[in-house]
Amino acid sequence: MSQIKLHYLNKSRAFRVLWLFEHLDLQYEIIPYLREDNRAPEKLKEIHPLGRSPIVEIQDGNSESSKVLTESGYIFQYILEKYDTEKKLSLIEPEKAEKVQYYLHYAEGSLQPPLLMEYIFSLAKQSPGPFPISYLVGGIINKISSAYSKGEVANQVNYIESEIEKNKGYLVGGQFSAADILLSFPLQMAFIRHFIEQNDYPNIKIWLDKITKEESYVKAQERSKTYEP
């Protein structure tokens, strides 16, 4: 038996891995970390040089060797291949399984970058500064946002909205899958930060409401409360 450890940073994407583990009914240990000045603590670099959460550490039960997994998409891919023997989240039909794999790369490769840019721009706008410098900076940020990230956010979210409609309320084949778990976080944050509005994306809103009623989500939420200040 392997021993699985989740190095869990509060208020981070690590929650999706916790949800994944709960849905697959895995036995695992949480190693909690708290943000320092809204950043991951240096202690995480003792596990992996980049010091970013989520990090999953898997100890081989038959030896002393361990494997350290980083990057959400890769963690999902590895865990699904090794532990989702019943194909609960990988999906059985080859075409659907392939689409799930696509979304594991899509989440961080296409969806997250423009959302991250919009988040950085929103923080820059909130930073205090003397007039007229603050006015000029705000104007430059708005131009960059309008020229790329704002439009690209709309492009990506419109795509997801249509995919959910075509796939009977889920991302793949009318079934709950790992793709739904992985894409939940960026879309929840997009609504919370008002990069997009719920009224403009009814399919995504209904989808988020539905998947966050999954028993595994509720269990993950309950467990995560222990590690949130």
The pLDDT value recorded for residue 135 is: 47
The pLDDT value recorded for residue 55 is: 97
| Tokens read off for 166 | 């075509």
Gap between the Cα atoms of 115 and 147, Å rounded: 14
DSSP-based three-state secondary structure for 62: coil
Please give the residue that has the higher pLDDT: either 105 or 135: 105
If you average pLDDT over residues 193-208, what whole number do you get? 97
If you average pLDDT over residues 123-136, what whole number do you get? 60
Cα–Cα distances in angstroms (integers) from residue 92 to residues 8, 85, 115, 165, in the given order? 30, 10, 32, 21
pLDDT of residue 148 exceeding 90: no
If you average pLDDT over residues 155-179, what whole number do you get? 98
Q: What is the DSSP string of 85-124?
A: TT-TTT-SSHHHHHHHHHHHHHIIIIIHHHHHHHHHHHHH
Q: What is the pLDDT of residues 46-78, one digit of tens each?
A: 999 999 999 999 988 776 788 999 999 999 999
CB burial of 162-196 (b: ≥16 within 10 Å; e: otherwise) equals: ebbeebeebbbbebbbbbbbbbbbbbeebbeeebb
Indicate the helix (H) or strand (E) that contains 8: strand 3-9
pLDDT of residue 132 exceeding 60: no
The pLDDT value recorded for residue 127 is: 65
Gap between the Cα atoms of 111 and 116, Å rounded: 9
pLDDT of residue 141 exceeding 80: no
Q: What is the pLDDT of residues 90-100, one digit of tens each?
A: 999 999 999 99
Please give the residue that has the higher pLDDT: either 82 or 1: 82
Nearest to 8 by CA among 63, 72, 67, 99: 72
Neighbours of 56 (CB within 10 A): 26
Mean pLDDT across the chain: 91
pTM given for the model: 0.90
pLDDT band at 229 (very low <50, low <70, confident <90, very high): confident
pLDDT of residue 147 exceeding 90: no
The pLDDT value recorded for residue 65 is: 80
Which domains, ranges and CATH numbers included, belong to the chain?
3-85 (3.40.30.10), 94-215 (1.20.1050.10)
Please give the residue that has the higher pLDDT: either 155 or 60: 155
